[in-house]
Structure 1
Amino acid sequence: MKKTIIIPLTIMTLAATACQQGGSSEENPLLTTPATPYGAPQFDKIKTEHYEPAFDVALAEARADIEAIARNPEPPTFDNTIVALERSGNRLNSVATIFFALQSAETSDEMDAIAERLQPKLVEYSNDIYLDPVIFQRVKTVYDNRADYGLDIQDSMLLDRTYKSFVRGGAGLDEAGKERYRAITNELATLSLKFEQNVLAATNAFTLNIPAADSAKVAELPDFVRESMADEAAARGEEGWTVTLQMASYGPFMTYSSDRELKEKLWRAYNTRGIGENDNRDIAKRIAELRLELAGLFGYPNYAAYVLEEKMAGNEATVDAFIDELLTATKGRALEEVAELQRYAVASGLYGAGFELMPWDWSYVSEKYKNDRYAVSNEEIKPYLELESVKQGIFSLAEKLYGITFVPNKEIPVYHPDVVAYEVHEADGSFTGIIYMDFFPRATKRGGAWMTNYRPMYTEADGTEVRPIVTLCGNFTKPTSSTPSLLTFDEFETFLHEFGHCLHGLFAEGKYASLTGTSVYQDFVELPSQIMENWATQKEFLDLFAVHYKSGEKMPQELIDKIVASKNYLAAYANVRQLGFAMNDMAWHTVTEPVTVSVEEFERTATAPAQITPYISGTAMSPAFSHIFGGGYAAGYYGYKWAEVLEADAFSLFEEQGIFNRDVAGSFRENILSKGGSEHPMTLYVRFRGHKPETKALIDKILE
């Protein structure tokens, strides 16, 4: 999941004279009240040239809001200071949310250039607020006298977060410290943006074309892979078949091709993104150095200590112990799984006696092994997971659990022809929100899958609720000229995962945008998404939609049992692999001196305890590790495993009471999904489950 900044969002009209270029505000769709259903963004009217003028207007307005708070002659109160800060910059948040969400989903060279120009302005604006001694003194006065205001839970949390954000944003530093903080945050914003741009450029820069004369190289591939490659080649004006580094293209080829030479070439290209052309190695080292320096300004020994103070885990020792516990419990099984695949590859005749299982062999051998041992393959599964049917099935699941319905609305503008907008309604017909669904890869879209808010839920000063607008983006298998989009099982789970994030956003309730929806501790935000993956192998759920797209036959229980068994047999390997990512993240953010060794050497040392396949010299994931260097998961990647502990324990209640049980679902919605960040996540979890989570549930699940 990718999270954009979530600040109050109200779209208001500004006088025409406020816009300095790009036409009047009445002509700029980012500055006018949308005449669209539910105030949805005017994607059909927004053009690239509208962004910078809109940002100029919105920044000026936001600065005026802050100035009014600072100059208020009245003594500081919760309403005139804390709530006023929360509601400031409404238009800026609207413009920024739209722009940065589209920069992930539908970018261009022009948008990337605009982002580079905008980042310093936005960081400067943020710093001007948090480093303003007058504003901070007002916030501190309210915080010091908080017992006098009779605050409810949401108010108290808003005050606590606001005060801490100022302290952690440099408000308490001396002038030299503030000046250095400004410089560090400006440089970090620029470098993180450049890191993301380099990853996308590196992903798009490499393709592998197999000429028509080499048809034997693709003859073994399933029809859907071959057709997809042919379509890709045709779209590029090439003959034959083309593979890209987009996962929807790269993944199937690595899974079904036996050509080790081509697969090694592809694997090395994928795992050297950000090395060489579009190089991110120095950027990664500089980001780590700047983060260390930033933490030092506040007296922390490293950046992880600074970050984890505001996480559910709380500190580095807890994270390290958590990772070590899971690694110790599962590494032995993971090594057994690797050894078993090695033996199978030779015994089955796939490769000769001298064969050594290499990383580029993993997908192919594991797929063959899964097919032989469990008599199941993606080719067998995919016909039951036609995308449109899966979508309707997931909608049906949400209706059974929560009573909501999804209605497509073509009157809601979209930003690309692939995108479909849906209204979401409660059982009583009341409006819940809007969800956009954007499923397929394209050159203008970053890889992976994510949920983003276009508008968070909040309550206006007069009590009017503003309902959320969210989007689900993926890079799923595209339809071909002869076959509809048929999902792999992994893609199906990904759909469920991101849909869980969307429900978290859609079910948001509360007064303040900064506390609703997905605005929660990062190591808690994956619970609503990861719990959804559990339904992927429930026959009662699959019967709602998982039918063969040609015959109409329901997915048989035998196949489901095989899927479960095949998932379990590599669960330990997958777990250790994820722990390696988390260890790499923690290593970068627990350094106490700038990194002087190469990125490749640093990463190899950091992940050595979790290395269970051969290390390949010259490769590294760090230069393309967008989660920690371009996104918001620095010192937080462990949160995926942390959330797995939560979801394994939480889903056991559904297993006990029924996977469609409305009472359990209602409790999950009331205590987890709707509460956002209004209370501490452990308080919310215990209220739902009745006890604190334990790692045993996850370890048992991995080793079963």
Structure 2
Amino acid sequence: MVILRAQGLARGAVLNFARTPSDIQATVNAIISRGNEIQRAVANQMQPTFANTIAPLAKFENDYGADSSVITFLQNVSTRKSIRDASSKAEQQLSAFRIESLMRKDVYDSVKEVLNNKKEMEALEPEDRRLVEKMAEQYWRNGLGLNHEHRERLGQIKVRLSELGITFSRNINENDGRILFTRQELDGLPEDYFDGRVTEMEDGVEKYVVTTKYPDLVPVMQMAKNEQTRKQLAVVSESRCPENIALLEEAIKLRAEAAHLLGHRTHASFVLEQNMAETPETVIEFEHDLQAKLNVLADKEIKEIEALKRDDCQVAGKPFTGLFHWDFRFYSNKVKELKHKVSDDEIKQYFPVEQVTRGVLDIYQQMLGLRFVKVDNPPVWHKDVEMYEVWEANDNQTFVGHFYLDLYPRDGKYNHACVNPIRAGFARPDGTREYPVAVMLANFPKPTSSAPALLTHDDVLTLLHEFGHVFHHICAETKWSHFQLESVQMDFIEAPSQMLENWGWEPSVLRKFAVHYKTGEPIPEDLVKRMVAAKNEGVGLSNLRQVFFGLFDMAIHDTFDGNIDIKSTYNTLREKTTGFSAGDTDTCGAATFGHMMGGYDAGYYGYLWAKVYSSDMYASRFLKDGVENPKTGMDYRREILLPGGSRDASVSLEKFLGRGPNKKAFLESIGLSSKV
């Protein structure tokens, strides 16, 4: 399917990302001023109703959500430090305003009157009724049931937590590690790793600069034969932002204190009551049950890895001293190469980024009944950024939204992969719609002088995954912006994206867009077979790594007082869960574990929890009906994506599956019997 190129911008107000620091501050002032005006009017209502109380508050969220998102988003992408600084300051100001707003008792009293008006509530449409309930719940969870003293203290805690989170994230974005290696120390890396790489002289020796950005870090950890090289880079990576440990420790204590004020034993208890899991006990039982099942696979995988490392030590004339976390990627990769004759260097020749992006977009076009149009010369924040329009496939008049792709690393940019929902879709009062906008950020390898940007297969899966978030946002069709992507339950939000990763393993799908960057030849059938055969190599250990992160999250957040030794807890739990030690290094990966300060606190388990649902959706509908079955795709769009957060995820799942979900498909997908 061809993606057309638009000469102009068709539908939907195009967002302005060209903001100066003074523009950003002016926008903050306007949002706060208008918000205060609306809240005063709501608080002064003599007879609160949905129309004069709930609707104005929700309409303010509709009208100003995009401006707020744009100016706070720029801290993650702008090339100018002054813009990033102004954006961070804006986020602090707007976060403080939101906290203050959600703690206004006079506004809550008006909202509560609407909630308690049974006659009016019964007359409301389902989404309007849910809006009232969720709005009242928000106020309650922000302390409106507390006395004045406790409410004041909770407000102070929330403002401080916001400051800590912004600083934590900014430290990670601004402080990439770097180290110098000789060519010999980087033995095992492919030739294109060195193409265009910056060198520096050290003690009269030319050395290559290697950073902790993913395109630098991951290949070294996977392919560098020299263990000391991998160890040194791992130490540099896990020694970044040491100041973040104190920030996280303070945040954990403040979260625990806030939970107590709100009547919960722990922060995890407070967070989880809104999720599908509901309680910390359920999460911990889930993690431990899965850990026991995964250990069946991991025990065998550890033996294979240990045997390989023992052989390497013997050849090098060195004693075997154990398995360390800098061994994990290298030996997992080596097992795949030896057993299945697959290597990332061979595979990536068939995944030039432009071809892959076009192929992945074709998958989504066909599945979701959409059409994507690339915009020429779009108004964006960096020359590498691409902008697309989204239309209904069979209707040239029905516009759906915009999305942007910012795929390559640069200084000061957010250094992982994520999707930012910049503008939510919603129904305008005149019956027309505001169109959603999403941005995908990634850090894929850049083009070199001798080759275009080439993706590993893991990168392809990341692209499929993140596009899943993009279209979850773009395809949600709710009346109020309140119920778009960010209101989806946290332990379900990853499921749609994880499900789409399966397309990256389908031979018929891969052959449509995987072509050699030089010859244009499609990926060989034999290579695809080897890739698929190697799919579950190391799956026990890789999933145990996810279990570790989930258990660490629970260890620091399901605690009564928040007094936790972060470094000891992180390193001890990692070794106990994954079998890989930190050795004699004095580091702590928690300093760059952005999820813990980026909205996934007491929620990281959701990645594996959602994996159960994603596997069930894929096996029970798409594999059964055919991965290219348009009816299944439209059922998925209608029942999973379209409702956004306007109904509980369990309802959406049952409507799509035709029954309640179970673990059977997930366990079978990783090579375990559902009876294990």
Q: TM-score, normalised by structure 1?
A: 0.89
Among 257, 266, 274, the alignment partner of 2:233 is 266
Partner of 1:84: 56
Partner of 1:138: 110
- Counterparts of 2:298 and 2:570 in 1: how far apart (Å)? 20
Partner of 1:104: 76
Q: Aligned partner of 2:618: which letter?
A: F
Give the aligned CA root-mean-square deviation in angstroms.
Answer: 2.2
1:695 deviates by: 2.1
Give the direction of change, closer, same or farther, for the CA distance of 1:36–1:191 in structure 2 (3 Å limit).
farther
**What per-residue deviation string (whole Å, max 9, x for no partner) do you get for residues 667-697 of structure 1?**
1100001110111110110010012222232
Give the direction of change, closer, same or farther, for the CA distance of 1:594–1:319 in structure 2 (3 Å limit).
closer
What does residue range 403-422 of structure 1 map to in structure 2 within 5 Å? 403-422=369-388
Partner of 1:499: 467
Give the direction of change, closer, same or farther, for the CA distance of 1:128–1:254 in structure 2 (3 Å limit).
closer
1:410 deviates by: 2.1
SS of the aligned residue for 2:129 comes to helix
Partner of 1:113: 85
Partner of 1:361: 327
Give the direction of change, closer, same or farther, for the CA distance of 1:303–1:390 in structure 2 (3 Å limit).
same
**What per-residue deviation string (whole Å, max 9, x for no partner) do you get for residues 181-209 of structure 1?**
1110111111111111222233x2x2122
Q: Aligned partner of 2:278: which letter?
A: G
Give the direction of change, closer, same or farther, for the CA distance of 1:89–1:364 in structure 2 (3 Å limit).
closer
Partner of 1:189: 162
Q: Aligned partner of 1:190: which letter?
A: E
1:375 deviates by: 0.5
Partner of 2:436: 468
**What per-residue deviation string (whole Å, max 9, x for no partner) do you get for residues 591-625 of structure 1?**
112315x3211324555641311233522222211
| 1:39 matches 2:7 | no
Among 506, 511, 519, the alignment partner of 1:543 is 511
**What per-residue deviation string (whole Å, max 9, x for no partner) do you get for residues 383-420 of structure 1?**
11110110110111112212212111125311100101
Give the direction of change, closer, same or farther, for the CA distance of 1:410–1:286 in structure 2 (3 Å limit).
same
Partner of 2:293: 329
- Counterparts of 2:463 and 2:118 in 1: how far apart (Å)? 43
**What per-residue deviation string (whole Å, max 9, x for no partner) do you get for residues 302-361 of structure 1?**
000000011111111111111111111112321321221111234477655733332223
For the Cα contact (< 8 Å) 1:62–1:92, is it kept in 2?
no
Structure 2's unaligned 5+ residue stretches are: 1-7
- Counterparts of 1:649 and 1:36 in 2: how far apart (Å)? 38
Among 20, 23, 31, the alignment partner of 1:50 is 23
- Counterparts of 2:400 and 2:671 in 1: how far apart (Å)? 40
SS of the aligned residue for 1:544 comes to helix
| 1:94 matches 2:66 | yes
1:488 deviates by: 0.5
- Counterparts of 1:157 and 1:287 in 2: how far apart (Å)? 31
Give the direction of change, closer, same or farther, for the CA distance of 1:174–1:35 in structure 2 (3 Å limit).
farther
| 1:650 matches 2:617 | yes
Among 423, 443, 447, the alignment partner of 2:415 is 447
Among 312, 317, 321, the alignment partner of 2:276 is 312
Partner of 2:390: 424
- Please say which of residues 662-671 and 145-154 is displaced more in the overlay: 145-154
Give the direction of change, closer, same or farther, for the CA distance of 1:258–1:280 in structure 2 (3 Å limit).
same
Structure 1's unaligned 5+ residue stretches are: 1-33
Partner of 2:179: 208
Give the direction of change, closer, same or farther, for the CA distance of 1:233–1:700 in structure 2 (3 Å limit).
farther
Give the direction of change, closer, same or farther, for the CA distance of 1:35–1:702 in structure 2 (3 Å limit).
closer
SS of the aligned residue for 1:170 comes to helix
For the Cα contact (< 8 Å) 2:186–2:229, is it kept in 1?
no
Give the direction of change, closer, same or farther, for the CA distance of 1:305–1:512 in structure 2 (3 Å limit).
same
For the Cα contact (< 8 Å) 2:489–2:649, is it kept in 1?
yes
1:147 deviates by: 4.3
| 1:625 matches 2:598 | no
For the Cα contact (< 8 Å) 1:36–1:42, is it kept in 2?
no
Among 371, 375, 378, the alignment partner of 2:337 is 371
- Counterparts of 2:254 and 2:84 in 1: how far apart (Å)? 23
Give the direction of change, closer, same or farther, for the CA distance of 1:443–1:411 in structure 2 (3 Å limit).
closer
1:154 deviates by: 0.9
- Counterparts of 2:348 and 2:567 in 1: how far apart (Å)? 37
Give the direction of change, closer, same or farther, for the CA distance of 1:36–1:66 in structure 2 (3 Å limit).
farther
| 1:281 matches 2:226 | no
Give the direction of change, closer, same or farther, for the CA distance of 1:481–1:639 in structure 2 (3 Å limit).
same
For the Cα contact (< 8 Å) 2:92–2:166, is it kept in 1?
no
Partner of 1:65: 38
For the Cα contact (< 8 Å) 2:477–2:642, is it kept in 1?
yes
Partner of 1:435: 403
- Counterparts of 2:666 and 2:407 in 1: how far apart (Å)? 30
- Counterparts of 2:22 and 2:102 in 1: how far apart (Å)? 30
Partner of 1:508: 476
- Counterparts of 2:401 and 2:426 in 1: how far apart (Å)? 12
Partner of 1:20: none
SS of the aligned residue for 2:112 comes to helix
Partner of 1:640: 607
Q: Aligned partner of 1:167: which letter?
A: W
| 1:477 matches 2:441 | no
1:122 deviates by: 2.4
Partner of 1:26: none
| 1:341 matches 2:305 | yes
Q: Aligned partner of 1:127: which letter?
A: I
1:567 deviates by: 2.3
For the Cα contact (< 8 Å) 2:368–2:633, is it kept in 1?
yes
For the Cα contact (< 8 Å) 2:238–2:587, is it kept in 1?
yes
For the Cα contact (< 8 Å) 2:24–2:87, is it kept in 1?
no
For the Cα contact (< 8 Å) 1:233–1:242, is it kept in 2?
yes
- Counterparts of 2:315 and 2:652 in 1: how far apart (Å)? 51
Q: TM-score, normalised by structure 2?
A: 0.93
Give the direction of change, closer, same or farther, for the CA distance of 1:124–1:440 in structure 2 (3 Å limit).
closer
- Counterparts of 2:385 and 2:335 in 1: how far apart (Å)? 37
| 1:226 matches 2:194 | yes
SS of the aligned residue for 1:266 comes to helix
For the Cα contact (< 8 Å) 1:40–1:469, is it kept in 2?
no
Among 456, 477, 480, the alignment partner of 2:424 is 456
For the Cα contact (< 8 Å) 2:373–2:390, is it kept in 1?
yes
SS of the aligned residue for 1:592 comes to coil
Among 294, 298, 317, the alignment partner of 2:258 is 294
- Please say which of residues 149-158 and 654-663 is displaced more in the overlay: 149-158
For the Cα contact (< 8 Å) 2:9–2:375, is it kept in 1?
no
- Counterparts of 2:315 and 2:639 in 1: how far apart (Å)? 51
For the Cα contact (< 8 Å) 1:76–1:142, is it kept in 2?
yes
Q: Aligned partner of 1:651: which letter?
A: Y
For the Cα contact (< 8 Å) 1:281–1:599, is it kept in 2?
yes
For the Cα contact (< 8 Å) 1:399–1:405, is it kept in 2?
yes
Partner of 1:672: 640
1:35 deviates by: 9.5
- Please say which of residues 536-545 and 216-225 is displaced more in the overlay: 216-225
For the Cα contact (< 8 Å) 2:76–2:173, is it kept in 1?
no
Partner of 1:572: 540
1:119 deviates by: 4.7
SS of the aligned residue for 1:567 comes to coil
For the Cα contact (< 8 Å) 2:72–2:88, is it kept in 1?
no
- Counterparts of 1:633 and 1:696 in 2: how far apart (Å)? 26
Give the direction of change, closer, same or farther, for the CA distance of 1:682–1:107 in structure 2 (3 Å limit).
farther
For the Cα contact (< 8 Å) 2:409–2:443, is it kept in 1?
yes
1:364 deviates by: 2.4
**What per-residue deviation string (whole Å, max 9, x for no partner) do you get for residues 569-590 of structure 1?**
1111011010000000111111
For the Cα contact (< 8 Å) 1:232–1:243, is it kept in 2?
no
**What per-residue deviation string (whole Å, max 9, x for no partner) do you get for residues 243-297 of structure 1?**
100011111122222122222111111122232xxx1121111100000011111
For the Cα contact (< 8 Å) 1:389–1:545, is it kept in 2?
yes
For the Cα contact (< 8 Å) 2:541–2:578, is it kept in 1?
no
